[in-house]
Structure 1
Amino acid sequence: MFGLIGHLTNLSHAQRVARDLGYDEYACQDLEFWCMAPPQAVDEITITSVTGQVIHGQYVESCFLPEMLAQGKFKTAMRKVLNAMALVQKRGIDITALGGFSSIIFENFSLEKLLNVRDITLDIRRFTTGNTHTAYILSQQVEQGAARYGIDLHRATVAVVGATGDIGSGVCRWLTRHSGPKELLLVARDYERLERLQQELGSGTILPVEEALSRADIVVWVASLNQGMAIDPATLRTPCLLIDGGYPKNMAGALQRPGVYVLDGGMVEHSLDIDWKIMSFLNVPNPARQFFACFAESMLLEFEGLHFNFSWGRNYITVEKMEQIGSLSRKHGFRPLLEISGAGSEPVIQ
């Protein structure tokens, strides 16, 4: 059985979903209550591969909210995700993906010091961040999205914002080896890490975000929450493909300009309907089939009986592992989401 650990986008969203799921005691509470609320297993999932194989899983709501990070409650956030991990392990789940910020908060912590959670010693091999599959899907959205929206990738300038993160560095490695853009722009806060990445890649131009956005034909935005900024659509090239790999995804509404195409980055679409209800609470056009690539990683590992932490830590994503998970993704009927965010199949942002 596979598991998914996730969280909702903000307090008001969490209150609304709690009410819809019948958790009335959660529905009217403030952030302090959510800081104390225990994780809950709230959904049973059945998914069928295009091969005919059927697997089952569970979704666990961590009750973590991004506002906790914004208010500096890092220990609270970490504790909530650890408690959710302990819950899925108690339930005997074989492989579980950590969604959204559930995985990000572990990039700068030593896990070996955090594995004892009450009466449980976490078996870290039962958990995967899902970042390798996310990096693969983002790379496919660059390649396939460029072709779909009239951008010659081999003549294009691609900017990766958040290039030194786990997912961003994986995307940079893929683009350098496979995609062959004319120029790759590397954007992140830590200049020393950028220099190390540039040296590893053997290419790439380090630029501040404002300059990179004005030069890029394609932007892959995978920066973390505290790197967020307002983007002036007038500074973007036309056409410009912007792949929003953040969570929550909120760029499409702010970039309403013809010729600027915003994709929900790191999202997949399955070939068959999935029996679940949790995605119906999120803003996706087709919740029966569309969801996060990180979640799909645990499904792929369950389909293949690969019950180990395929993705973990920071900057361990290799092109070879992206190729491996990409092959499994195609085998079981997943494909990158290429429709413009909020616009169905329309060719421009409305």
Structure 2
Amino acid sequence: MFGLIGHLTSLEHAQSVARELGYPEYADQDLDFWCSAPPQIVDEIKVTSITGETITGKYVESCFLPEMLATRRIKAATRKIVNAMAHAQKNGLDITALGGFSSIIFENFDLSQIKQVRNLTLDFQRFTTGNTHTAYIICRQVEQASAQLGIDLKKSTVAVCGATGDIGSAVCRWLGNKLDVQELLLIARNKNRLEELQTELGRGKIMGLEEALPEADIVVWVASMPKGVEIDSSTLKNPCLLIDGGYPKNLGTKINGDGIHVLNGGIVEHSLDIDWQIMNIVQMDVPSRQLFACFAESMILEFEKWYTNFSWGRNMITIEKMEQIGGASVKHGFRPLLLNGI
């Protein structure tokens, strides 16, 4: 059985969802309450592959909220993630994906050092970040959505914002080696990591965001656009493809204009309806079929009986592993979300 560990986007969102799910005791509580709230299994899931095989899983709500990081409640945030992992393992889930901030917190705060949660020893082989499948799907979105817009990748300039992260670096490897884009622009805050990535790739220009955007035919955002950052849409190319790979997604509300196309990155559509409720809560356009690629990774691993931490560690994603999970993704009926009406 597979598992999904997730969280909601804000305190307000959490309160409204609590009412919908029948947890009135959570609905009117403040952030301090959510800091102490235990993880809950709130959804039972059934997924059928196009091969005919059916699997079942559970959604674990971690009760983590992004405000915990914004208000420096770091201990509460980290405790949320390890407690949710322990809850998943205790409930017999064989392979569980860490969705949204769960994997980021796990990596950034080195939670692999926390192996004991009360009387349970965490078995990290039971968990995956889902980042390999997310990186693969974003790359396929670049390839297929650019074709929708008539952008020739061999002649295009692609900027990757967040290039040195786990997903960003994997996307750069694929774009530089598999798709062989004409120009690859590398954008991130840490100069040393950028230089290391540039050396590894043997190509790519290190640039700042403001100077890179006017040059790019395609922009891949691996993280949400930071608050306070403003983009002048008139400086972007026409057409320009923006792939919003962050969570929560916010490019569509911040950048618009003629010839600018924003695509929700890292989202897949399944060929068959999935029996669950949780995607209604995160407001997917087609909640019975659309989901985050990281969540789909745990489903794929369950279908294939690959009970291992397929995506784990920072900047460990190889092209070979992306091809492996990508092949299994296609086999079981998952496909990248693309632009509508093109």
Does the TM-score normalized on the shorter chain lie above 0.5?
A: yes
2:107 aligns to what SS in structure 1? coil
Paired residues for 1:7-22 under 5 Å = 7-22=7-22
Paired residues for 1:40-189 under 5 Å = 40-189=40-189
Aligned 8 A contact 1:106 1:313 in 2: no
**Which amino acid counterpart does residue 239 of structure 2 have in structure 1?**
P
In 2: Cα distance, 1:6 partner to 1:228 partner: 26
Deviation digits for residues 46-84 of structure 1 (CA, Å, limit 9, x no counterpart): 000000000000000000011111222222111101000
Distance 1:242 1:224, change over 3 A: closer
In 2: Cα distance, 1:3 partner to 1:230 partner: 37
Tell whether 2:247 aligns with 1:247. yes
In 2: Cα distance, 1:110 partner to 1:137 partner: 26
**Which amino acid counterpart does residue 213 of structure 1 have in structure 2?**
L
1:171 aligns to what SS in structure 2? helix
**Which amino acid counterpart does residue 166 of structure 2 have in structure 1?**
D
2:193 aligns to what SS in structure 1? helix
C-alpha displacement of 1:191: 0.2
Structure 2: stretches of 5+ with no match in the other structure: none
Aligned 8 A contact 1:45 1:56 in 2: yes
1:330 matched residue in structure 2: 330
- Percentage identity across aligned positions? 66
Aligned 8 A contact 1:70 1:226 in 2: no
In 2: Cα distance, 1:236 partner to 1:81 partner: 39
Distance 1:112 1:248, change over 3 A: closer
C-alpha displacement of 1:224: 5.8
2:308 matched residue in structure 1: 308
Tell whether 2:341 aligns with 1:346. yes
Aligned 8 A contact 2:96 2:127 in 1: yes
C-alpha displacement of 1:140: 0.4
2:198 matched residue in structure 1: 198
In 2: Cα distance, 1:240 partner to 1:172 partner: 18
Aligned CA-pair RMSD: 1.2
In 2: Cα distance, 1:39 partner to 1:234 partner: 45
Paired residues for 1:219-258 under 5 Å = 219-223=219-223, 229-258=229-258
Structure 1: stretches of 5+ with no match in the other structure: 340-344
C-alpha displacement of 1:230: 2.9
2:341 aligns to what SS in structure 1? coil
Instruction: Please give the TM-score of this superposition, normalised by the length of structure 1.
Output: 0.95
Instruction: Please give the TM-score of this superposition, normalised by the length of structure 2.
Output: 0.98
C-alpha displacement of 1:227: 8.0
1:107 aligns to what SS in structure 2? helix
**Which amino acid counterpart does residue 52 of structure 2 have in structure 1?**
G
**Which amino acid counterpart does residue 253 of structure 1 have in structure 2?**
T
C-alpha displacement of 1:226: 5.6
- Bigger shift: 276-285 or 222-231? 222-231
**Which amino acid counterpart does residue 58 of structure 1 have in structure 2?**
K
Distance 1:314 1:224, change over 3 A: farther
C-alpha displacement of 1:297: 0.3
- Bigger shift: 68-77 or 52-61? 68-77
Distance 1:69 1:228, change over 3 A: farther
2:248 aligns to what SS in structure 1? coil
In 2: Cα distance, 1:230 partner to 1:62 partner: 32
In 2: Cα distance, 1:226 partner to 1:126 partner: 32
